[in-house]
Structures are given as C-alpha cells and as structure tokens.
A and B are shown apart, each in its own frame.
Chain A
Amino acid sequence: MEYVKTADNGRPDMRVNIGSLQLENPVMTASGTFGYAREFENLMNLHRLGAVIVKGISLHPRQGNPPPRIVETACGMLNAIGLQNVGVDRFIAEKMNYLAGLNVPVIVNILGDSIAEYEEITVRLQGVPGVAGIEVNISCPNVKKGGVAFGTDPKMAASVTAAVKARSKVPVMVKLSPNVSDIGAVALAVQDGGADSVSLINTLIGMAIDLKTRKPALANVIGGLSGPAIKPVALRMVYEVAKKVSIPIIGIGGIETAEDALEFMLAGATAVQVGTANFINPRASEDVVDGITAYLMKEKLPSIRSIIGQLELS
C-alpha cells in the first residue's frame, strides 16, 4: 500500500494499515469500554475514530457476574463484569445496523468457551454488513480443558486463531492475555496460527480486599486490572512482542493521552486502543487523535508511520 507523504490538506498523514485493514488513524476503542459505540454518539465524534471495537460477543447471551463488579484501585480499576453481552444473534440484529452506518471500521470482539463456539460466532459474523474485522479474546477459560484460558497456552492460542481464521473473510486480530510468563511465545504461536495482528494487553488479574468486612471487594473475588497502573507492564509486553512477530501490533493498557499512545507506537505498536480512559473522559479517544496530530505537526513529521517501532535503545 502506497501512501502520499502528507494528506491533501497539509495535515500529517495519520493512516495506518493493520494487515489488509486500512485505518484513517491509529486510535481504536478497546472492547468492553465503549459499549456498542452508540452510547457515546452525543459525547464525541465517532467518525473520527480509527476503528471501533465493540463489547465482547459470545455465542449465547451472558448475564455477567453478580455485583460488586468493579472497584477502584491505585491509578486503576479492577473489573469482573463477567462478559455480559447480548449474544451474537441479537448483536447482529440490534447493534450492527447502527454500527454499519458509522464511517469507521467496526471490529467485533468475540469470546467462547470452546473452539467450536469461536468458530460458530465467526461463521455468523461473515457477510454481516459493517463487520470489518474480528478481535479474538483468548483470555476466557476453555471449559472443555478444565478452565485453562486459551490465552495462556501457546498451542491452544494457535488452535483458536487458526479455527477463526479458517472461517473468516475479514482480518483477524488476536487479543493477548498478559497473565503469562512469556507473552512473546503466545504472540508467535498466534502469528503461526494465521493471525493478521495481535492486540495487547488484556487486563492483569488482580484482587482487592475490604479490610472492614474482610471480604474481597469484588463478588467474583478476582478481576482484571486496567487503567494507568498497568501501562508500564503493557509497554514492556508490546516491546517484547514487537521483537518476536512480524504482524502488526495494537497496543493497549492505560492509554489516556496522545503521549501514552505515541510511547506504545515507539515500542512497536502500529495502532492503539483506548480503554478505561473512556469511562473517565468519554471523549478520550478523540482527544488522543487530536493530540497525535498536534504532536506530528509540532515535530514536523509528515506521517504517523514514521513513529512506529522507532524506540532508540542507545
């Protein structure tokens, strides 16, 4: 894909490619932090996003976990929402029409308890107008293999990826779990499985305790940590994965500002996802787009792509 050096209007070229997926800019919304986008329509200009990644979809509707589901921690939050969603059929019937009308690529995050479930969701999403890509959440437990998360075993991660990839005509992004000892190995396995890109990191498993009641702060006892607290871990993992894989990387973890996003891109990310920040500032992702543009103009850089992987180690 050839790009002109700057856009016609003289502003920096913000376009990036995630495999065959062409984005107007590198800023996406992270799954589970942006609903089905419509929730934000009066609060920001949705058309200015690089892509929208919607709340994770399972084959059947899920009720989610009992409350309390969230608790704030230092510079972050723990959540145990429990993957509450309307299920793939209702998602297609009720949510996709609106999403397809947006002028941005829509990437559908999918999750399942078995490879067959991932396959079935993928099949049902094929040919649905507006679905530009699939993000595979491999952090959920494989019920058939005794609850081990797909994302923690490179072989299983590769199998899920290959299964989805075999049934998808749209690009497949695989979202990696940070709760592993060697994320590079999982990333490589996923690349070998045929992934078009990897996104990382999902939340870090954590816990909070209420000393007064001596109970866990979350009804689910443990939950996923997100927010600025996890950014250093996420940056390190993007940096490590960038050394291992050749497919594009999408950086996620505590990104609130353009500076955060640019750091991830220096570490090797082609694009980023804004997550928890959407809860605090519904306009956060648009602010990141503006901030990156301003940075490129200030640094007199014609294209965002000149930043990717340009970390200076010495």
Chain B
Amino acid sequence: MSQYQENATVTRIEQLSEKNYRLTFESPMIAAATKPGQFVMIRTSIGKDPLLRRPFSVHQVLNNGLIQIYFKEVGRGTGILGHAKVGEKFSLFGPLGRGFRLSKDKPAIIVGGGLGIAPLLLLLKENCRLKKNCDQDLVILGGRNREEVEPLLTDFKKYGVTVRTSTDDGSLGHHGYVTEILKSIPLVDGCTVYACGPEAMMSRVAGICAEAQIACQVSVESVMACGMGACLGCSRPDNTGSYTHVCLNGPVFDAEKLQWNM
C-alpha cells in the first residue's frame, strides 16, 4: 500500500451550488494509487493555522493524474479550499484508508445523501469498469434541494445506470429521503448496498439492509489529525463494544461491524 505526500496543483474549481465545491488537483502519484472509497488529507495552509490537514474522500480519478474532491464550505479549511485559485498548490497526502470492496457479478445499489455523494462517483466508475455492464445497478442520490443534487447527476448517468433522486423539499425527484426509495424497492438476494451520507441516513440504510439480510458497506466520516493510524483520534464505537478507527479500518466499513444509534 503506497502513500504519497504530493504538492498538488489546483487545475479546476467548480462551484456546484451555494456552498458546494468541486476541486480538481493534478496529483499523479495519488491518482494512480487511489481505490474507490479511499481518502486524502489536504493541508489547507502552509502556515500554522489551520494546523491540521483535512480529510476528503476522493470523488473522482480522471485521466492525466487528476483527482477531484467534492465538499461543502463549512469552516476555515474548506473555506480556504473553496476560494482557492487555479494554479495554487496544496499538499495532498494519500491515498489513505480502506475503500469499498467491489463485486464483479453482484448487483450494486449505491445510496448517497448530501456531501456523502462524494466518494460514490469513483465507486460507480470502478463498479461499471469491473462489470460488463452495470444496467442491473441502481444509484439513489438525495439532498436538501434540487441545487444540491442536480449538478452531479450527469456524471452519474453517463455510466448508464438508473439514477433516482430525492430531496427534502421535493424540488427534485422523490419528496423525502433516499432511505424511503431504498425501502420501496425490491432488494434482491446477493446485492450489495453502498452508502455514504449523514449519520442518520446511514444508520437507517444499515437497518434496512440488516432486515433484508443483504450486504451493506458504509463510508463514515470522522475528525482526524493524521489519517494514518498515529493519532488515534478517529475512534468510532464498533459492534463489539470497543472502538475501531476510521482512518485505518475505514472509512468504509461493513455496516454490521459498527454500532448504530437507531
């Protein structure tokens, strides 16, 4: 498992909605090594403040050594990245963590909520590359409103999968939650649900999958200082009453291995 510290140049900045951005970096070593679901730690300042790197799941790996992250501006680190300029350099460290475990022959249901959509595009790309065709697969994307979901749809649809949507305000697709769509569809034996989104959403997805006795992999979020198992800051309760660490054992977990507050 190779990890790199790379001084990556911003090649493209897309503001997809009011606070949501997509940044493209030229980061050839990390791009070549990244598997779906893995993440990078980005240093947003060359000074001492903000001090720590920020974790971002890899949204997309493009040709020519480009990688993308998709994020919402919520604090100082993401604020700096959101207002970055093309040509600016940032230190990227990665790829880190354990990503999604893909299957060549089992149907995939990919469920994303809000910013949790971020790692699912690379997952879909690799899923469709592994399979001859992915027309048995389903993508369900949700968000607060049309502005949050719509800008990403083209990128998902280009792989030829069925994409269904939901919004909290009903401005696009189903009026409600992605979990309601998931609950309404037949979950065939042997299919795998891949989910990333708010904690409440993933908890519900985990519950639906447990009930239907189908495999569920979730990508979870955590604050972390190092991203590589040194700080032990990203602890998360597991199903044994102990803690697991998101950076090393995740960020993608089999949902049943984690403790959920349902």
Q: Give bound CA distance, A65 to B234, whole Å.
A: 11
Give residues of chain A (66-103) contacting chain B, Cβ–Cβ below 8 Å. 66-72, 74-77, 79, 81, 84
Known: A64-B243, A68-B223. A282 touches B231 (CB 8 A): no
Q: Give bound CA distance, A251 to B230, whole Å.
A: 21
Quote the shortest CB–CB distance from B86 to chain A (angstroms).
25
B2 at interface, CB cutoff 8 A: yes
Q: Which residue on chain B has the smallest CB distance to residue A38?
A: B229
Give residues of chain B (217-255) contacting chain A, Cβ–Cβ below 8 Å. 222-226, 228-237, 242-243
A77 touches B230 (CB 8 A): no
Known: A77-B51, A84-B235. A35 touches B229 (CB 8 A): yes
| Inter-chain contacts of B226 with A (CB < 8 A) | 278-280, 282
Instruction: Enumerate 29 A-B pairs (CB-CB under 8 Å) in ascending A order.
Output: A32-B231, A32-B232, A39-B230, A42-B1, A42-B3, A65-B235, A66-B235, A66-B243, A67-B235, A67-B237, A67-B243, A69-B234, A69-B235, A70-B223, A70-B225, A70-B231, A70-B233, A71-B223, A77-B51, A84-B232, A228-B48, A228-B51, A256-B48, A278-B226, A279-B53, A279-B225, A280-B226, A282-B228, A283-B5
Known: A39-B228, A81-B231. A75 touches B49 (CB 8 A): yes
Q: Give bound CA distance, A309 to B236, whole Å.
A: 45
Q: Give bound CA distance, A277 to B91, whole Å.
A: 14
Q: Which residue on chain A has the smallest CB distance to residue B53?
A: A280
B231 touches A79 (CB 8 A): yes
Q: Give bound CA distance, A42 to B4, whole Å.
A: 9
| Inter-chain contacts of B79 with A (CB < 8 A) | none
A280 touches B51 (CB 8 A): yes
Give residues of chain A (251-297) contacting chain B, Cβ–Cβ below 8 Å. 256, 276, 278-283
| Inter-chain contacts of A76 with B (CB < 8 A) | 51
B151 at interface, CB cutoff 8 A: no
Measured CB to CB, the residues of B under 8 A from A are: 1-3, 5, 43, 48-53, 91, 93, 222-226, 228-237, 242-243
| Inter-chain contacts of B93 with A (CB < 8 A) | 282
Q: Which residue on chain A has the smallest CB distance to residue B228?
A: A39
A-B CB proximity, top 3 nearest: A70-B233, A279-B226, A279-B225
Interface size on A, residues (CB 8 A): 36
Q: Give bound CA distance, A188 to B229, whole Å.
A: 36
| Inter-chain contacts of B237 with A (CB < 8 A) | 66-67
Q: Which residue on chain B has the smallest CB distance to residue A34?
A: B230
A75 touches B48 (CB 8 A): yes
Q: Give bound CA distance, A228 to B50, whole Å.
A: 11
Apart from A66-B235, A276-B225: 11 A-B pairs, beta carbons within 8 A:
A43-B5, A67-B234, A69-B235, A79-B225, A81-B232, A278-B230, A279-B53, A279-B226, A280-B43, A281-B91, A282-B230
Known: A75-B51, A77-B51. A39 touches B229 (CB 8 A): yes
| Inter-chain contacts of A79 with B (CB < 8 A) | 225, 231, 233
| Inter-chain contacts of A276 with B (CB < 8 A) | 51, 225
Interface code A31-49, partner B: CB below 8 Å = 1, 0 otherwise? Answer: 0111100011011000000
Partner of B230, one of A40, A63, A227: A40
Q: Which residue on chain A has the smallest CB distance to residue B4?
A: A43
Quote the shortest CB–CB distance from A112 to chain B (angstroms).
19
Quote the shortest CB–CB distance from B181 to chain A (angstroms).
30
Q: Give bound CA distance, A33 to B233, whole Å.
A: 11
| Inter-chain contacts of B3 with A (CB < 8 A) | 42-43
| Inter-chain contacts of B243 with A (CB < 8 A) | 63-64, 66-67, 84
Q: Give bound CA distance, A42 to B222, whole Å.
A: 24
| Inter-chain contacts of A64 with B (CB < 8 A) | 232, 235, 243
| Inter-chain contacts of B235 with A (CB < 8 A) | 64-67, 69, 84
Q: Give bound CA distance, A69 to B232, whole Å.
A: 8
B52 touches A279 (CB 8 A): yes
| Inter-chain contacts of B224 with A (CB < 8 A) | 70
| Inter-chain contacts of A55 with B (CB < 8 A) | 232
Q: Give bound CA distance, A281 to B93, whole Å.
A: 9
| Inter-chain contacts of A32 with B (CB < 8 A) | 231-232
